Amino acid sequence: MAQNSGRTLYDKIWQSHTIEILPTGQTQLFIGLHLIHEITTAPAFDMLREKGLKIAFPERTFATVDHIVPTDMRSRPFLDSQAEELTQALEKNVAQFGVEFFGLDSDKQGIVHVIGPQLGLTQPGMTLACGDSHTSTHGAFGTLAFGIGTSQVRDVLATQSLAMDKLKVRRINVSGTLAEGVYAKDVILNIIRRLGVAGGKGFAYEYGGAVVEKMSMEERMTVCNMSIEGGAWAGYVNPDETTFAFLKGREFAPKGADFDRAVTYWKSVASDPNARYDDVVEIKGSEIEPTVTWGINPGQAVGISEKLPLPEEFADPEGARKAYEHMGWQPGKPILGTPVDVAFIGSCTNSRLSDLRAAAKIAKGRRVRAGVRALVVPGSAAVKALAEKEGLDRIFAQAGFEWREAGCSMCLAMNPDKLKGREICASSSNRNFIGRQGSPGGRTILMSPAMVAAAALSGKIVDVREYLK
Amino acid sequence: MSADTKIVKVTGRAVAVRGNDIDTDRIIPARYLKEVTFARMGEYPFFDERFDAAGKPRPHPLNDPKHKGASILFVNRNFGCGSSREHAPQALYRFGIHAIVGESFAGIFAGNCVMMGVPTVTLGSAEIEELMRLAESRPQTVFSLDLEAKSLSFGERQVRFDIPGTYRNALISGSWDSTAMLHANLDKVRKVAVRLPYMTAFRG
């Protein structure tokens, strides 16, 4: 093959899933797996009823509840009548339309982007859609995974397909190694900082290089999860032995000889060594330090030892000024030492077992600073059970963290877990948007789960490496 | 795909909401996503910027009586970034916004808009600044957006805008409500499905 004539994973999956080119010029793309939750689906089912349509492939849609569920008292009916009503709407819809549902009483319940991989539903070489922008998470498996709106949820239900436009592909090589105390979260925050929150517009991001190849599946999920924060509709990692080993034995993964045939297919979808990319970006892993956000979007991030940047350093100084106005701190000062009121470990970005282990390692034998409200919200019922089996819940509880039931929780504060007033939250979630954590004046500082644990113990933003010595 | 779904022109007064990277949490706070339908979304766009904690209106272009009834929204860069919540464009649409003109849009947001028949069209930053100033200083100005001509006309002036070709086709042909178009190919969908190894669980 000639140089750079090969195909990317994106090209291959796009081609094999193309149904036809529509009169509009869009591609009708087959969607292999559809995940739904309570928030973005009720009107989609209403639209199906209005149009008199049924679900085309009901066995390819799976449902759970995550966004709205309380993480302390889960008894029904929920205290929040709206949450109860929305949950009942989903329960009614999945029953009426014949969709498999992992409800609150199921040991498979959890954040939709945690349970898909955990159950082996998410597989390489698939297209996957879900009415949630962090669907990019599933790209960690070499899956083309798209976040969609409610009208598109309706289309997937009715036709198992979407009208889409093809994206370009940007390869992001993270070379070298990461220092101790530097995590997958720091890698993706640095990528977004460098390329910008709109830098990925029109692109799918393909993550590779030595750092990504060495990552566990959970770390790859953290990276792919935040692709959308960089403006990329999808992000993925080519499937490899790490991917196959993760999937082997999972409930919905193929078994025995079927698994071997699956591996052959999964290997075939990886980007060719001579694949042609629309853009290539190089990032040195050794230059990444523990990273935190200082502003109101995930691209406004700094290394922990850096000073807060001046608005004039940005292409959009007005945007930086608005961020400072909301956050209430001064350019040129260190972020280190900023006091925190709340510490949140959870979300589809960082609520998996390895995240909880990393945080527990910091918390073990120490105490949350007086006055700090700290909570740990496992990503799924299964993650919670596994963590409890190895005693992580006791480590957290002894340190003064609240140990909760699975859900999205304070990432977007649709349940009772919310910031109050001007509280500052050290958060392992994915968005530091104004008002995101439930208080219009609330302030979010994004970081890795280990950094959140360190902030909870210190009552301020610290360098987690101090705790790893 | 009947004539009444074709979106070719949007004409009306305009309102500017300034700022880059305006995210969907600002456009509609997550607590309003707890409603089971989109019916009341028109009450909520930019709620936390338009109202204080006590519900008292704050100065905001969408609260300003001089812009009441505006149907075209002017915005800056990367408008609608963040979440995939269709509630964001639904809130704007049900508030009365039927077209958005900006420097750029986040992908999922623009996709959601087209699915609802709301054009999102782009212009350069200097032109957007001029349009915003005009809408702010002369709020009675009527703008007319023509998707066929890809032009925005106001007074004696006319500027050419960009819109992805597929979005433009979907809007002017009336096939933006894509279910019927996709559903017509259900046989072809099934043919593609049986070709994909995972759809048969890799059973040889």
Candidates B21, B177, B197; nearest CB to A265: B197
The confidence score (pLDDT) of residue A2 equals: 57
Inform me whether the C-beta atom of residue B104 falls under 8 Å from chain A C-beta atoms.
Answer: yes
Q: Do A323 and A214 share a structural domain? A: no
- Disruptive mutation site among B86, B147, B187, B191 for chain A (greatest number of A CBs within 10 Å): B86
B residues 21-40 closer than 8 Å to A (CB) = 21, 23, 25-26, 29-31, 33-38
H or E stretch covering A168: strand A168-175
Residue A352: inside a domain:
yes
> Among residues A61, A70, A404, A376, which one has the least CA distance to residue B34?
A70
Q: Where residue A435 falls among pLDDT bands split at 50, 70, 90?
A: very high
Inform me whether the C-beta atom of residue B170 falls under 8 Å from chain A C-beta atoms.
Answer: yes
Q: Do A173 and A38 share a structural domain? A: yes
pTM for the model stands at 0.97
Residue A396: inside a domain:
yes
Provide DSSP, A179-198: PTT--HHHHHHHHHHHH-TT
Q: Do residues A384 and A104 lie in contact, with contact meaning Cβ atoms separated by under 8 Å? A: no
Tally the C-alpha atoms within 13 A of residue B96's C-alpha that lie toward its C-beta. Answer: 13
Contacts of A163 in chain B (CB under 8 A): 170, 178, 181-182
H or E stretch covering A163: strand A161-164
Which residues on adjacent β-strands are paired with residue A206? A171, A236
For chain A, how are helix, strand and coil distributed in percent, rounded to 5?
Answer: 40, 20, 45
- Reported residue count of chain B is 204
Q: Do A390 and A262 share a structural domain? A: no
Look at residues A270, A289, A308 and tell me which one is the last residue of a structural domain.
Answer: A289
CATH number for the domain that contains residue A442: 3.30.499.10
Inform me whether the C-beta atom of residue B199 falls under 8 Å from chain A C-beta atoms.
Answer: yes
How far apart, in whole angstroms, are the C-alpha atoms of residue A127 and residue A33? 6
> Among residues A119, A169, A142, which one has the least CA distance to residue A241?
A142
Write the pLDDT tens digit of every residue in B120-170: 999 999 999 999 999 999 999 999 999 999 999 999 999 999 999 999 999
Assembly ipTM: 0.97
Q: Between chains, do B108 and A51 touch, taking CB under 8 Å as contact?
A: no
Residue A1: inside a domain:
no
Q: Which domain holds residue A323?
A: 291-468
Mean pLDDT over residues A309-337, rounded? 96
Contacts of B21 in chain A (CB under 8 A): 197-198, 297, 316, 319
For the B3-175 domain, the top CATH level (class) is alpha beta
> Among residues A464, A430, A438, which one has the least CA distance to residue A180?
A464
How far apart, in whole angstroms, are the C-alpha atoms of residue A153 and residue A26? 17
Look at residues A289, A307, A326 and tell me which one is the last residue of a structural domain.
Answer: A289
Contacts of B91 in chain A (CB under 8 A): none
Q: Which residue in chain B has the smallest CA separation from A93?
A: B36
Candidates B183, B186, B202; nearest CB to A258: B202
Q: Where residue A4 falls among pLDDT bands split at 50, 70, 90?
A: confident
Look at residues A233, A264, A289 and tell me which one is the last residue of a structural domain.
Answer: A289
The confidence score (pLDDT) of residue A5 equals: 87
Q: Do A252 and A122 share a structural domain? A: yes
Q: Between chains, do A132 and B185 touch, taking CB under 8 Å as contact?
A: no
Token output for B35: 């409603």
